[in-house]
Amino acid sequence: MAGVEPTSIDGVLVTHHHSDHSKTALRASKNWGAVLYSNLETAIRMGWEPIVECRTFGALERIVVSDEISLLPIPVPHDDADNVAVIASNGDGRRAAVVTDLGELTADLMRHLSGCSHISIEANYDHDRLMSGPYPEVLKRRISGRGGHLSNAQTGEALSGIVNKNLESVVLCHLSEQNNAPHLAESEVLMSMEERFSGSIGISLQSGPEFSNWLGQSEPERISSL
């Protein structure tokens, strides 16, 4: 995590049980002395013992992590997982969202996204690349379906619906190596938001928590991972 001391982390929230989001969470929470948070379904699927190993939360139940930070988990449709998007709020009312692994945006989530200063959101695939690529038909349907992932176009459309002057930065994440490319994701999203967006845009690399900018800016920018 860029610029963050692991031991300064108070809590680790796992959004759902899929291994790309959960694998090292229990170990990390123990190593860092941080509280592990998940909903009950995720805890069961991970084999974590509630209370002893993790603190469970309900949908839309505000989690107070510290004096400054609280988290709001918002259920989103994704495969067989009980997945959540997360809105983090700090003491002065600024909010940041982390949104990955969902087939479509819900009205609840859209309402909470508008007014966020920072949004990390998946732009998983370019629709044409996915459809003309080598994946079997059943997998193409799953990824592009209601329980799959957001395409660049869906993410652009969502951001276009909520962009306002409060939105300072957007990071596109969870890009598919096979079915997407950073310049495609960035250009599609920027095009959707048009000149209404004056903040910074970055792409989260699969290999790590640092963010690079492809088209929008000349200088890569480091942003703390949430």
Contact residues toward Zn ion (CB under 5 A) are 18, 20, 101
The distance of closest approach from Cβ of residue 149 to Zn ion in the complex, given in angstroms and rounded to an integer, is 8
* Measured distance CA(154)–CA(45) in Å, rounded: 29
C-beta closer to Zn ion: residue 64 or 139? 139
The distance of closest approach from Cβ of residue 140 to Zn ion in the complex, given in angstroms and rounded to an integer, is 17
The distance of closest approach from Cβ of residue 17 to Zn ion in the complex, given in angstroms and rounded to an integer, is 8
The distance of closest approach from Cβ of residue 46 to Zn ion in the complex, given in angstroms and rounded to an integer, is 13
C-beta closer to Zn ion: residue 18 or 140? 18
Give the number of other Cβ atoms within 10 Å of residue 160's Cβ: 15
Residue written as tokens 């995720």? 42
* Measured distance CA(114)–CA(57) in Å, rounded: 23
The H-or-E segment that residue 28 falls in is helix 25-32
**Strand, helix or coil for residue 139:** helix
C-beta closer to Zn ion: residue 101 or 126? 101
C-beta closer to Zn ion: residue 82 or 101? 101
Residue 70: strand pairing partners? 64, 89
The distance of closest approach from Cβ of residue 15 to Zn ion in the complex, given in angstroms and rounded to an integer, is 8
Name the percent of the chain in helix, strand, coil, to the closest 5.
30, 25, 45
The pair of structure tokens assigned to 22 is 């959960």
Q: Which residue is nearest to Zn ion (CB)?
A: 18
How far is residue 203 CA from its own chain's centroid? 12
Residue 36 half-sphere exposure toward CB, CA atoms < 13 A: 25
Residue 36's nearest CA partner among 47, 20, 51 is: 51
C-beta closer to Zn ion: residue 20 or 61? 20
* Measured distance CA(184)–CA(120) in Å, rounded: 17
C-beta closer to Zn ion: residue 84 or 119? 84
The distance of closest approach from Cβ of residue 102 to Zn ion in the complex, given in angstroms and rounded to an integer, is 9
